[in-house]
Amino acid sequence: MINKLISAEDAVKRVKDGDTVMVGGFLAGGHPEELVRALVETQSAGQLSLISNDTGTPELSIYKLVQSGRVKHIYASYIGSNPETGRLLMTKEAEVNLYPQGTLAEKIRAGGAGLGGVLTPVGVGTIVEEGKRKLDIEGREYLLELPLHANVALIRAHKADEAGNLVIDGSSRNFNFVMAMAADYVVAEVDTYVKLGEIDPNHVNVPGILIDAIVKVGNTHE
Amino acid sequence: MNNREFIVRRIAQEFKDGDVVNLGIGMPTLAVDYIPDHVQIMLQAENGILGVGPKAAKAEENIDCIDSGGSFVTTVAGACFFDSAVSFSIIRGGHVDITVLGALEVDEQGNLASWMIPGKKVPGMGGAMDLVVGAKRVIIAMDHVSKDGQPKIVKACTLPLTAVHVVNTIVTEMAVIEVIPGQGLMLMEIAPGLTVEDVQKATGAELWISPDLKAIAV
């Protein structure tokens, strides 16, 4: 079995200039803080595209990433919690694309699920429909929303086994599940790392085949 | 009783036993304090919980159990967790009975503007667009007029829309108004001490008066 356990510093070396990076989480819940901190502090890839539900809060390292000038495109749903993202939008220092939250989740899901896009009624009649194809399906209008894919996804889970199977607790599942499917290289930050067979298959939230690297944080042992 | 309490007390009367309800951040979340004892609802948080309970005590705060405003919460018996794609499938798929949220403007066609003021405030729409399109019933909780006294209930919204033809009911400190598709705004209830003329004067669109017009009782 391939050993997927690596350091945060090694994991984020995979991010190169011009890459698209997905960061899981909803505000601080399920946010891979150590991975993002390593991305901010230990390497310097620039011209990045960042895909994140909310781009976090000022307490999180993702705030520093947005502030660093290394991010040129942002795809998010809600940015009211990160004033720096709002500033980049206003000054046009970065291109900030906002999507309805369910649309953002489905665009990422489509990217990982081999779909050419999704049709959603959400956004019809609003500025969200600008530049998008609109289709009439049995008398109702839908927007065609195209898939999102990333070079690297940084996600958070509670527990991983050696195969990369993940258990994510509570409301921290959020975007971590869809992002695990939608990137070429997926790193999971976990509290707990266990041997093969120690996670009941009934309790696996994310299949291990989707996970390329595991970074263990904290001192939790089982 | 202040205006906010008055509004959310009236909104809490709309919940029926067994309803799945999503409450927006701010005033709408206060409605949970006034749900009648015989009514049990299932609260959804769009970040991935069905069955949100009271706020967590300091010692029980858990980063894996937050609501959509980022507050630490508990869960009720029978609750469940899911990821964002499932959460918004629940929302978009019509499995939420009622969503309650605030608004900047609502117009007589049920169009809603609630998420941005161009050049001023662009926090992103979050889950609001999905919620108002997908929920079976959309209730707006807001002050009847803006801080500078301008009507927020108007003939046609001027701010960027959240969605078209989605609002069912508007509850303010002055009135309860139903949007009747193809007809317009129907004044259903009126706050004690106010006249129909008072409400009409504070409203930027023509109101139809319900034959069963009542006083708001909270």
pLDDT digits (tens, 9 = 90+) for B74-99: 999 999 999 999 999 999 999 999 99
Mean pLDDT of A68-96: 97
**Residue A139 in domain:** no
On chain B, the residues whose CB falls within 8 A of the CB of A54 are 124, 126
On chain B, the residues whose CB falls within 8 A of the CB of A108 are 85
| Domain containing residue A167 | 8-116+147-217
A171, A190, A210: best mutation site toward chain B, by most B Cβ within 10 Å? A171
What is the pLDDT, as a whole number, of residue B42?
97
Q: What CATH code is carried by the domain that includes residue A207?
A: 3.40.1080.10
Could you tell me which chain A residue has the CA closest to the CA of B119? A90
Is B25 in the A-facing interface, judged by CB distances under 8 Å?
no
Q: Which of B45, B130, B68, B128 is nearest to B94 (CA)?
A: B130
Could you tell me which chain A residue has the CA closest to the CA of B84? A174
Dist. CA B177–CA A7, nearest whole Å: 58
List Cα–Cα distances, A143 to A137, B99, B199, in angstroms: 10, 23, 38
Helix axis angle for A101-113 and B84-92, nearest 10°, is 120
Mean pLDDT of A59-88: 97
Measured in degrees and rounded to the nearest 5, phi and psi for residue B47 equal -80, 0
Dist. CA A68–CA A66, nearest whole Å: 6
CB B81 within 8 A of CB A172: no
The residues, any chain, with a CB within 8 Å of residue A134's CB and separated by 6 or more, are A124, A141, A142, A143, A144
Q: Which of B70, B92, B123 sits opposite A122 (nearest CB)?
A: B92
Residue type, B24: G
The residues, any chain, with a CB within 8 Å of residue B217's CB and separated by 6 or more, are none
Mean pLDDT of chain A: 96
**Residue A71 in domain:** yes
What is the pLDDT, as a whole number, of residue A219?
62
- The answer, as to whether pTM is greater than 0.90, is yes
**Residue A222 in domain:** no
Place of tokens 């919690």: A81
Q: pLDDT by residue (tens digit) across A118-142?
A: 999 999 999 999 999 999 999 999 9
What is the pLDDT, as a whole number, of residue B72?
98
What is the pLDDT, as a whole number, of residue A220?
53
A59, A92, A101: best mutation site toward chain B, by most B Cβ within 10 Å? A101
Annotated catalytic residue within B14, B46, B108, B173: B46
Residue A127 has what DSSP assignment?
A: G
Measured in degrees and rounded to the nearest 5, phi and psi for residue A172 equal -85, 0
CB B140 within 8 A of CB B107: no
Torsion angle (degrees, nearest 10) of CA B89, B92, B93, B96: 100
Q: Cβ B129–A123 below 8 Å, yes or no?
A: yes
CB B217 within 8 A of CB B211: no
Nearest chain B CA: its distance from A166 CA (Å) = 13
Q: Per the structure block, which two tokens stand in for A90?
A: 């206003």
**Residue A52 in domain:** yes
On chain A, the residues whose CB falls within 8 A of the CB of B48 are 26, 170-171, 173-174
| Beta pairing partners, A143 | A120, A134
Q: Which of B62, B89, B124 sits opposite A76 (nearest CB)?
A: B124
Given a cut of 70, is residue A221 above it in pLDDT? no
**Residue A183 in domain:** yes
What's the number of domains chain A is made of? 1
**Residue A130 in domain:** no
B46 is catalytic: yes
Could you tell me which chain A residue has the CA closest to the CA of B158? A126
**Residue A1 in domain:** no
Residue type, A189: E
What is the pLDDT, as a whole number, of residue A170?
98
Given a cut of 90, is residue A218 above it in pLDDT? no
> Per residue of chain B (218 residues), what is the pLDDT tens digit?
999 999 999 999 999 999 999 999 999 999 999 999 999 999 999 999 999 999 999 999 999 999 999 999 999 999 999 999 999 999 999 999 999 999 999 999 999 999 999 988 889 999 999 999 999 999 999 999 999 999 999 999 999 999 999 999 999 999 999 999 999 999 999 999 999 999 999 999 999 999 999 999 99
Mean pLDDT of chain B: 97
| Beta pairing partners, B106 | B112, B153
Tell me the count of A-B CB pairs closer than 8 A: 146
What is the pLDDT, as a whole number, of residue B122?
87
Is B70 in the A-facing interface, judged by CB distances under 8 Å?
yes
Q: Cβ B63–A28 below 8 Å, yes or no?
A: yes
Q: Which of B66, B84, B128 sits opposite A105 (nearest CB)?
A: B84
Ordered strands of the A95-98 beta sheet: A95-98, A71-76, A48-51, A20-23, A150-156, A183-190, A213-216
What is the pLDDT, as a whole number, of residue B90?
98
What is the CA angle A142-A99-A88, rounded to 5?
Answer: 150
Residue B216 has what DSSP assignment?
A: -
On chain B, the residues whose CB falls within 8 A of the CB of A111 are none
CB B30 within 8 A of CB B4: yes
Q: Which of B125, B103, B115, B72 is nearest to B169 (CA)?
A: B103
Nearest chain B CA: its distance from A146 CA (Å) = 15
Q: pLDDT by residue (tens digit) across B144-164?
A: 999 999 999 999 999 999 999
Q: Cβ B47–A169 below 8 Å, yes or no?
A: no
Q: Cβ B92–A98 below 8 Å, yes or no?
A: no
Compute the half-sphere exposure of residue A92: CA atoms within 13 Å on the CB side of its CA.
Answer: 1
Full set of structural domains in chain B with CATH: 3-215 (3.40.1080.10)
